[in-house]
Amino acid sequence: MDKYFLKLDGEGIIKYKVIEKHIKNLIDCNKIKDGEKLPSIRNLASFLKVNNVTIINTYKKLESEGYAFQKIGSGTYAKRRDINKNFRREYSNVLKKIANSGNNDYLDFTDESPNGDFFPIKSFKNVIDEVLDRDGAAALTYQEALGYDGLRESISSVFWNNKINSEDILIVSGAQQGIDVVSKAIVNTNDGIVLEKPTYSGALSVFKWRRADIFEVPMDKDGIDINIFEKILKKNNIKCFYTMSYFQNPTGVSYSIEKKRQILNLAQIYDFYIIEDDYLSELIYDKRIKYNSFKSLDLNDRVIYIKSFSKIFLPGIRIGYLVPPKKFKDSIQNSKINTDISTSSLMQRALDLYIRKGLWRNYISKLNLIYSKRYEYTKSCLKKYFKNKIKFNEPGGGLHFYFKISDSININCLRLFRIAREKNVLITPGTLFYKNPKEGQKYFRLGFSQLGDEEIEEGIRILYDIVSDTY
């Protein structure tokens, strides 16, 4: 008992919440094993010099939160297998509560999109005014189920050099809706779906909801492990492979052109389709990384391409687009129409004009200049503080880093999240990115888009202090 509760002994009046928190931490970091018997109520109360009711309340609270279970006539036992079960809700509630409170004291490393302070409000307002003057009420009332023709044409000409027909482009309300629309159109119960491991939590949720048969393939430095991938393809009937081709969320990995060609070849051999989520490919800082999407290399019409303007532009402007293969064009278009009929007509027209005027390219150039400097600064702080305690790759672009906590450090990402939150630092735990959350307990993601240099260094220093205390 001493090795578990010595730190609490002698702290004066001990409330049950203090004991509860201490036992949770011991279970989270595996000092108390799953299924291990906890001290009896009488013995623990005597050791900590509290009354029996305090320990009874502690154990009841642990049971209600999934950290313990009772065996009648035997006692109370630790329970680890459900510690991640409600964490997604806890994480979401924490972020919502902080956002709604207007509390700006937090150093928030959780965001995945550019800082709104850099958004060109004045120029976009002028574009909206021009659209309203030009189109009048039609800009607000006219609905086009597949998207505004002008925007589809500008996407075709500006981003694809007219290599993709505007009639094959479908406007959606961001990448998340794109994934949802595609899954509803082509994924049925027990269909085989391959995901990267780890992967974007929003996509994982969609395919789980569709009750697909999900297979995971670990990530290498230039994309998924091809050998493991092909073994899965040989043994199973796979319908789709979902991938984020640039600065993958969360690992930050970008696919090499060689690996893309290998996967496209496998798609033809094993008759599956690639759902490409082209995530933040505009933000390439390392000039050795060249842009070639799966879609641009696709010779056999095997790629369902999804692109969001919301992530790179402004989350509140919910616009993206997808390009389906001819085989699924009608079913995906019908799925979109059944989902929400159409995306905001005014925002589509404004974005179209913004792109045509060349303002989009100017904005992206500005973001690259700002975030390449912030990326380099964040990287230098990480190397300065963490050294060998936390491993991370250098993605060469995007807006985040992904970390593996050294096995010699006695802390997992859930405990790190909770301790950091108490110190006004917010991170994204790795458990959110895995089909089996336990596989992500030694990982976390750190986004640098919302913070200045001083805030970034302060947040990293606080995380370093937390990790050092458990080293």
Q: What is the pLDDT of residues 115-141, one digit of tens each?
A: 888 888 999 999 999 999 999 988 887
Query: Does residue 279 have a pLDDT over 70?
Result: yes
Spell out the CATH class of 2-78. Answer: mainly alpha
Distances in whole angstroms, Cα of residue 285 to Cα of each of 27, 368, 372, 392? 41, 7, 6, 17
Quickly list DSSP for 161-176: TT-S-GGG-EEESSHH
Lowest mean pLDDT among 291-295, 406-410, 456-460: 406-410
E strand or H helix that includes residue 432: none
Q: Where are the beta strands (DSSP E) in 342-411?
A: 390-392, 400-405
Closest CA to 79 of 19, 44, 37, 42: 37
Q: Where in the chain is the domain with CATH 3.40.640.10?
A: 126-358
Domain 126-358 annotated CATH 3.40.640.10: yes
Closest CA to 281 of 367, 352, 380, 392: 367
Q: Where in the chain is the domain with CATH 1.10.10.10?
A: 2-78
Question: How is residue 321 written in tokens?
Answer: 């687009």
**CA 141/CA 138 separation, integer angstroms:** 5
Indicate the CATH number for domain 87-113+362-469.
3.90.1150.10
Q: What is the pLDDT of residues 300-351, one digit of tens each?
A: 999 999 999 988 887 778 899 999 999 999 999 999 888 776 678 899 999 9
**CA 68/CA 59 separation, integer angstroms:** 7
Per-residue pLDDT, 7 = 56
Contact 243, 277 (CB under 8 A): yes
For the entire predicted model, the pTM comes to: 0.82
Span 268-286, average pLDDT = 96
Span 229-250, average pLDDT = 97
Q: Where in the chain is the domain with CATH 3.90.1150.10?
A: 87-113+362-469
